[in-house]
Amino acid sequence: MNPLIYADFSPKKSIKCVVFDFGFTLCKDYYFNITPPDHPDWHTVIQEHIFQEPSIVDPWLKGDLAIEDIARVVSGYIPMSVASIVATMEKGCMQLQFNQAVWDFAVAQKSAGRKTALVTGNMDVFNKVVVPAHRLESLFDIILNTADFHEIRKEFLWPIAFERLGGGIGYANSLLIEDGETEPAKFRELGGLAYQYQNDDLFLDWLEAVHWSEQP
C-alpha cells in the first residue's frame, strides 16, 4: 500500500482544488524524445550533457537560459545547426504521452467544479510548445512554471496559484498529486494533502481506497 494514504483523508473532507505536477505525474515521457536522422547519439547527448548537468538544467528551469542556449550546447556534440536542434527539440515536445489515469482525474475534477492547477518545474519550451500543443490551458484553471518566476522552489509557486484562483483556496482545502517525495512532504507540512504518484495502477487503487468517488 502506498505509504501516503492518510488516516485523515476522508470522503467528507472538502477538497476545492487539486494541484498537479507535470513531469512523470501528468506526463510520462521525457522531453525531446525524438531521434534526428543520422544522429543516433541524440538521446545520450541530451541526457548526459543537459539533464545530468545541474549547471545547465537548473538555470534553464529558473528561466535564466533559453532553448536556444541549450541548443548551442548540444551543437558542440551533434553536428547540426542551432536552429535545427531547436526545431527537433520542439517537435519532440509535441509528441509527449500522458499518464491516462492522472489526465482523466484532472478532467473529472474540473468537470466536478473543483479548481485545477498545474504547477511545474519547467523550462521556456513548456510554455512555448508543450502547453499549446497539448491544450493544457483547457484542462487547468491556472498553469505556473518555475521558469516564469526565476524560482525553482514549488513552495514559492503554490501560494501564488492559490491567490490567483481565489475563492478561499489554500493548503487546507487542496490536494497535490506529484511524483517524488520532497514536494508532497512539503505540501503536507504546509497544511495540505498530497499523494505521491508512482504509476496509474497504484493511483487508481488509492482513489478507490480513499473512496474518492464519494467525495462531495
| Tens digit of each residue's pLDDT, the chain (216 residues) | 344 444 455 544 689 999 999 999 999 999 998 888 889 999 999 999 999 999 999 999 999 999 999 999 999 999 999 999 999 999 999 999 999 999 999 999 999 999 999 999 999 999 999 999 999 999 999 999 999 999 999 999 999 999 999 999 999 999 999 998 999 999 999 999 999 999 999 999 999 888 887 665
CATH topology assigned to domain 17-28+97-214: Rossmann fold (3.40.50)
CATH 3.40.50.1000 domain span(s) along the chain: 17-28+97-214
Q: What is the pLDDT of residue 180?
A: 87
> By C-alpha distance, which of 3, 7, 5, 15 is closest to 192?
15
Rounded distance between C-alpha atoms, residue 106 and residue 178, angstroms: 13
Q: Could you tell me what percentage of the chain is helix, strand and coil, using 3-state DSSP and rounding each to the nearest 5? A: 50, 10, 40
Residues 12/206, Cβ–Cβ less than 8 Å: no
Give every strand in the sheet of 142-145, ordered side by side.
142-145, 115-120, 17-20, 174-178, 193-196
Beta partners for residue 130, in sequence order: none
